Structure 1
């Protein structure tokens, strides 16, 4: 993605301008994915919205179109490679390119213990959090590298940096995703930038099941969970020409967890 706006006379707004770009966001129909979809659209991008729920994708696509951008709603289970292959084909048939890929879909179910973690649960967690991003990053990264370049954002988790019991498969999968960022950045650079956005606790719909204490306070420098919209500026930075010299990096957006 060629830097724009940092030449003499260029405005800061130009650095975050996504006009003419196409963004594909997995897990895009709710939570942090939804916030990123809307932010990209407001910055000028057309958007491919995908999650397992076709109806939710369709509803958000209507919101994007109301902003004056084009949108494609496509259901996809990112743990299944055949569905990923279809998603990529449909996206390129509709828009001819993908400039920004956000591997945001994830799942983090608790297990009773490591010993009691079932093979089914293990495979499901690793499939969604690592296998899917690997396949999408490989397919779209290759096309980006052969074309005009682009930006891939792997949405990881503080759980990979500060793992806890009962989250073994999730922490391991997100740690693998962090490593994948380095692999793809080297494999598809210099035309493709690949970075990790390491998210901490955010008050998305999943937080409704948290204890009230967890919804109010976190063990962090900021001291509380993030609001979903607080992911937007970091996502725009990594997606846009503003981060033209940033690749293979891990950006923590977790309020300073410790």
Structure 2
């Protein structure tokens, strides 16, 4: 089953609109946090799934969880998206294993801490751009081309509110995520009308990255700066991911959806 630009919800139930049966969904950074939650949600919706990240053991653990809890096929693939050729290899592995792919989620990302902008090294800057921007660019190109040739699909990028309201603590990261917004629109045009390309823009989520936060300071700030007065939980990305992956969003492409608890409301 493929997802194309043709669609419409007339006569279909919510369950039918969000059904992913017969599809294959690839999630980079899929072994933990929001990536893991998207993998599990796609499998529960009927998709076979591919979990890709740098640590194969973690991917295998999620693949085992998918098989045991949903009965769907699950493939674990070691992949560092910051390397151009590993995105190509991931695509080839998916098509060799399944013969098709309808959903790609460019979720892998990182934002290392640094003492000051002056002290950001060239290697750190390059690493942030490679993982957060170069990888999604290449993955979108290779998977998008195959999806287009097959008749349709959905690419979901994951950015951050840092793309529109970057702080000095995440400048390179914010620049890369702003780039994600740009390539979302570019690829939406490149592979139209068959492949839809959209972006989820999360705010502060309480995933592994939050373990480095001063939570007392964060909670105090959340009371004043976040409309919902808290950080997001990893599974709260699921609704947006299922929407973009499924026929529920059949007339949506080139869009950026904030799921930030109201974090970015002050910046528009």
* Residue number among 222, 225, 228 corresponding to 2:231 in the alignment: 225
Tell me if the contact between 2:7 and 2:251 (Cα under 8 Å) persists in the aligned partners.
no
C-alpha separation between the residues in 2 aligned to 1:207 and 1:168? 18
1:5, distance to aligned residue in structure 2 (A): 7.5
Residues 65-84 of structure 1 mapped to structure 2, 5 A cutoff: 65-66=67-68, 67-84=70-87
Match of 1:240 among 217, 239, 246: 246
User: What RMSD over aligned residues (CA atoms) do the two structures have, in Å?
Assistant: 1.3
Q: State the match for 1:117 in structure 2.
A: 120
- Aligned partner of 1:251 in structure 2 is 257
Aligned counterpart for 2:160 among listed residues 144, 157, 162: 157
Structure 1: gaps spanning 5 or more residues: none
**Alpha carbons of 1:214 and 1:89: their partners in 2 closer, same or farther (altered >3 Å)?**
farther
Q: TM-score, normalised by structure 2?
A: 0.93
Any idea what the Cα deviations from partners look like across 1:53-85, whole Å, max 9, x if unmatched?
Answer: 100000100111111100100000000012111
User: Match of 1:32?
Assistant: 34
**2:203 is the counterpart of 1:197:** no
Distance 1:137 1:226 in 2: 27
CA distance in 1, matches of 2:248, 2:129: 32
User: Is the Cα–Cα contact under 8 Å of residues 145 and 191 in structure 1 kept in the other structure?
Assistant: yes
Structure 2: distance between partners of 1:224 and 1:21: 35
- The alignment's TM-score, normalised by the length of structure 1, stands at 0.96
The answer to whether structure 1 residue 20 and structure 2 residue 22 are counterparts is yes
Change (3 A) 1:176 1:5: closer
Deviation per residue, 1:198-233 (Å, 9 max, x gap):
011111122122112255352211111011111101
Contact kept in structure 2, 1:5 and 1:11, CA below 8 Å: no
1:58 corresponds to:
60
